[in-house]
Amino acid sequence: MLEIGSQSTARHAPTPDASAPHGEACDLVTVPVRQGLEAVDILRRGGAPLVGPVLHDGACDTLGFLVPPGTAEGWDMPGSACTQTSGRGLRIPELPALPEPAGDAPRPAGWLLPPGDTGAVTDPAVLREALGQAARLIEAADGCR
């Protein structure tokens, strides 16, 4: 189980309704795919429902974690970005089903962890801790080459 420090929790506390029910706006934290996959593993080992829906871009360069609206206001994790949707664009689970690409065409964006298979959204304080742990694991692994 991840322990969350009070400073991290205060700075990245979810909005009063952290559940972001289907159809509600949410913010999106994007990270490099390697760090994101490590964080997903860390969160899933921590037990449900610690991780919410996760998107991947078509090139599989980044992963996007859905977090409660308002998270972007206090997000300051190096190596990541948090986009505030303010009700525009991204809504859970409104990502259209796209056909598979033909030939060498890039893959369309899609769900790594779709809504319904996860918690509603990822708590930003828990995500911050998992991303930090993932970065440390990657640094240690790269140092052992």
For 95-141, write each residue's pLDDT tens digit. Answer: 444 455 556 666 678 889 988 777 689 999 999 999 999 999 999 98
Give Cβ neighbours of residue 9 (< 8 Å, ≥ 6 apart). Answer: 125
Band (6; pLDDT cuts 50, 70, 90):
very low
**Residue recorded with tokens 């949707």:** 85
DSSP reduced 3-state for 33: helix
Considering the chain, what percentage of its residues have pLDDT values greater than 70? Answer: 64
pLDDT of residue 88: 57
Q: What is the mean pLDDT of residues 12-41?
A: 72
The verdict on pTM exceeding 0.75 is: no
